[in-house]
Structure 1
Amino acid sequence: MYKVINRFIDKEDNDTLYEAGEVYPKGNYKPSKKRIELLLKEHPSYNCKFIEKVKEEKKPSDKG
């Protein structure tokens, strides 16, 4: 799972607007591995990253 850290419009997702704090991707859109890697790295023109990987916390089991 990824979290948006800087607002952007995803041209590969029908010009979908992503605001900081939202989950990436939205809906049924499945970005390519290359697209995710591009958004994770600092963009040379904008000098920022657009998404970051979110560590999913393991939920404690109900077994006790």
Structure 2
Amino acid sequence: MAAKKKKYEVIDSFKDLQDGNKVYHTGDRYPNPANKSIPEERIDELLSSDNKRGKPVIKEVE
């Protein structure tokens, strides 16, 4: 059985500089479209304060 893909929600609006400057607003799903391949390192960066905003901008959701 394949591992279930994790889902994320934007908790602070941001412009994704690694996704053609796509703007994500609070409450949006990340990534959009949901089947878009995002490197695990990028997800970790957005989940932490180790990014240009200096704070987490997404959270994992069920």
TM-score category (smaller protein): 0.7 to 0.9
Q: Higher helix fraction: Structure 1 or Structure 2?
A: 1
Corresponding residue number in structure 2 for 1:18: 24
User: Which structure 1 residue ranges, 5 or more long, are not aligned?
Assistant: 56-64
Number of residue equivalences: 55
- Partners of 2:12 and 2:50 lie apart in 1 by 11
Alignment match of 1:36 (pick from 4, 29, 43): 43
Question: Where do 5+ consecutive residues of structure 2 fail to align?
Answer: 1-6
CA drift of 1:29 comes to 3.0
Identity %: 31
The structure that has the greater radius of gyration is 1
What TM-score, normalized by structure 1, do the two folds share? 0.75
> Aligned residue for 2:11?
5
